[in-house]
């Protein structure tokens, strides 16, 4: 594969992860045939689901959630996004820690 096309795939995969659900929808419309981009589309979808779940959990009005658990969940989420972005630009298909295995099985 030409180097320019390979670099474009990395950049598109990175944007899919960074743009969250917008990136997922865009890649489903324009890049559905590219296996590498679709791999990171699934990983990004998993991160989006995790983001929604964390948002719902943090809405609980328990002091323990607000003070301890909520910040830890958001830090974990940020770490997973950074790791997934680094994986996307590496050129290799690496599943996102904790959630990647589940969302890789989705048939888009």
Paired tokens of 78: 């940020």
Domain of residue 51, residue span: 3-102
The answer to whether 20 and 48 are in contact (CB under 8 A) is yes
Q: Which residue has the tokens 């997934």?
A: 84
Residue 107 placed within a domain? no
Residue 38 placed within a domain? yes
Ramachandran sector of residue 92 (left: φ over 0; alpha: ψ -120 to 50; beta: rest): beta
Residue 49 has pLDDT above 90, yes or no: yes
Residue 95 placed within a domain? yes
Ramachandran sector of residue 107 (left: φ over 0; alpha: ψ -120 to 50; beta: rest): beta
Residue 80 placed within a domain? yes
pLDDT average, residue stretch 80-90: 97
pLDDT average, residue stretch 19-37: 95
Which residues make Cβ contacts (< 8 Å) with residue 71, sequence separation at least 6? none
Mean pLDDT for all residues in the chain: 91
How many domains is the chain partitioned into structurally?
1
Residue 44 placed within a domain? yes
Q: Is the pTM of this model over 0.75?
A: yes
pLDDT average, residue stretch 26-38: 95
Residue 60 placed within a domain? yes
User: Residue 89's pLDDT band (boundaries 50, 70, 90)?
Assistant: very high
């Amino acid at each position: 594969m030409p180097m320019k096309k390979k670099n474009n795939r990395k950049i598109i995969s990175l944007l899919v992860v960074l743009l969250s659900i917008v990136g997922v929808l865009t890649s489903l419309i324009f890049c559905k045939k590219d296996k590498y981009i679709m791999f990171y589309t699934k990983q990004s979808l998993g991160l989006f689901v995790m983001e929604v779940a964390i948002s719902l959990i943090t809405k609980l009005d328990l002091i323990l959630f607000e003070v301890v658990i909520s910040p830890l969940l958001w830090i974990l989420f940020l770490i997973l996004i950074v790791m997934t972005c680094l994986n996307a630009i590496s050129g290799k298909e690496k599943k996102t820690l904790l959630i990647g295995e589940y969302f890789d099985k989705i048939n888009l």
